[in-house]
Chains A and B, each alone.
Chain A
Amino acid sequence: MRYTRRHVGTSARTLGLFGLLAVVPTCRLVGQDSIRISEAQSVLSQLVESYGVSGSEAPVREVVKRLLPGWVKTETDTAGNLWVRAGQGEGPVVIVAHMDEIGFRVDTINADGTLGLRTRGGFILSLFEANLALIHTDRADIPGIFLPRDTGLTRRTPPPLRVSVGASSRAGAESLGVKVGQTITMPKQYVRLAGTRATGRSFDDRMGCAALILALRTVDRAKLRHPVVFLFSTREEIGLEGADAAAHQLGTSTRRVHAIDTFVSADSPLELQNFAAQKLGAGAVARALDNSSITPPAYVDSLANLAQARGIALQIGTTNGGNDGSTFTQFGVVDVAMGWPLRYSHSPAEVVDLKDLVSLADLVRAVAEDW
Chain B
Amino acid sequence: MRQPEALEGWKVGMFLLSILPTFQHSLSAQAVDSLAIRFSGMTAVTGYEQAMTDSLLVLLPGSVRDRTGNVTVSLGRGAPKRLIYCSLDEIGYAVGNISDDGYATLRRVGGGARLSPLFDQQLEGHRVTVFGRRGPVPGVVAVRSTHLTRGRPTGNEAPFTVDNAYVDVGAASRDEVLALGISLLSPVALTKRPQRYGNGLVAAPNAGRRAACAALAAAALSRPRVRGTVVVGFTVQSLYADTAGLKTIVNLQGPFSDTRMVTVPSKFGDTTVETVALKDVDALVADVVQWMGGGQ
Contact = CB atoms under 8 A, between A and B. Distances in A.
Do A and B bind?
A: yes
Interface of A: 1, 3-4, 6-7, 12-18, 20-22, 24-26, 28-29, 122-124, 126-127, 130-132, 142-149, 154-157, 164-167, 176, 187, 191-195, 197-199, 264-266, 268-272, 276, 281, 319-321, 342-349, 351
Chain A residues touching B, majority SS: loop
B159 to A, nearest CB: 5
A12 B168 CA distance: 27
Nearest to A11: B195
Nearest to B164: A270
A124 B138 contact: no
5 contacts: A17-B16, A194-B170, A271-B148, A347-B143, A347-B145
Given A126-B160, A130-B272, 19 more contacts: A13-B195, A14-B193, A17-B192, A21-B191, A24-B12, A24-B15, A148-B273, A154-B116, A154-B117, A155-B159, A166-B198, A187-B193, A191-B138, A193-B169, A194-B171, A265-B145, A269-B142, A320-B150, A347-B143
A25 B195 contact: no
Contacts of A265: 145
Interface string B134-167: 1111111111111110110011111110001010
Contacts of B136: 21, 24-25
B282 to A, nearest CB: 17
A27 to B, nearest CB: 10
Contact of A127 (B125, B137, B195): B125
B93 interface: no
A124 B150 contact: no
Interface string B105-134: 000000000001110011011110100001
Please tell me the size bucket of the interface on B: 35 or more
A15 B172 CA distance: 32
Contacts of B176: 194-195
B138 A193 contact: yes
A6 to B, nearest CB: 7
- The 5 A-B residue pairs with the shortest CB-CB distance, nearest first, are A166-B198, A193-B170, A197-B170, A349-B140, A194-B170
Contacts of A127: 124-126, 143
Given A130-B271, A270-B166, A22 B138 contact: yes
B23 interface: no
B19 A346 contact: no
A345 B19 contact: no
Nearest to B130: A25
Contacts of B85: none
A104 to B, nearest CB: 15
B137 A320 contact: no
Contact of B41 (A18, A28, A272, A346): A18
Contact of A344 (B142, B155, B272): B142
A293 to B, nearest CB: 15
Contacts of A347: 125, 143, 145-146
B148 A349 contact: no
B188 to A, nearest CB: 13
A130 B122 contact: yes
Contacts of A348: 125-127
Given A24-B15, A124-B125, A155-B159, A349 B141 contact: yes
Contacts of A270: 142-144, 164, 166
A258 B88 CA distance: 54
Contacts of A268: 142, 144-145, 166
B143 A124 contact: yes
Nearest to B118: A154
A345 B193 contact: no
Contacts of A29: 137-138, 170, 180
B157 A155 contact: yes
Contacts of B141: 349
Nearest to B171: A194
Contacts, number: 229
B66 interface: no
A344 B138 contact: no
B103 interface: yes
A123 B155 CA distance: 12
Interface centre among A1, A3, A165, A347 (most CB of B within 10 A): A347
A22 B143 contact: no
Interface string B188-202: 000111111111010
A146 B41 CA distance: 19
Nearest to A155: B156
Given A156-B121, A157-B155, A166-B199, A351 B145 contact: no
B70 interface: no
Contact of A351 (B117, B140, B164, B191): B140
B122 A321 contact: no
B146 to A, nearest CB: 4
Nearest to B193: A18
Contacts of A191: 127, 138
Interface string B72-115: 00000000000000000000000000010101000000000000
B147 A157 contact: no
A3 B154 CA distance: 15
Nearest to B271: A130
B99 A269 contact: yes
Contacts of B195: 12-15, 132, 143, 145, 187
A185 to B, nearest CB: 13
Given A22-B138, A157-B156, A281-B172, A132 B150 contact: no
Contacts of A343: 142, 145, 168
Contacts of B122: 130
Contacts of A272: 148, 150
Contacts of B129: 21, 25
B256 interface: no
Nearest to B20: A17
Nearest to A121: B146
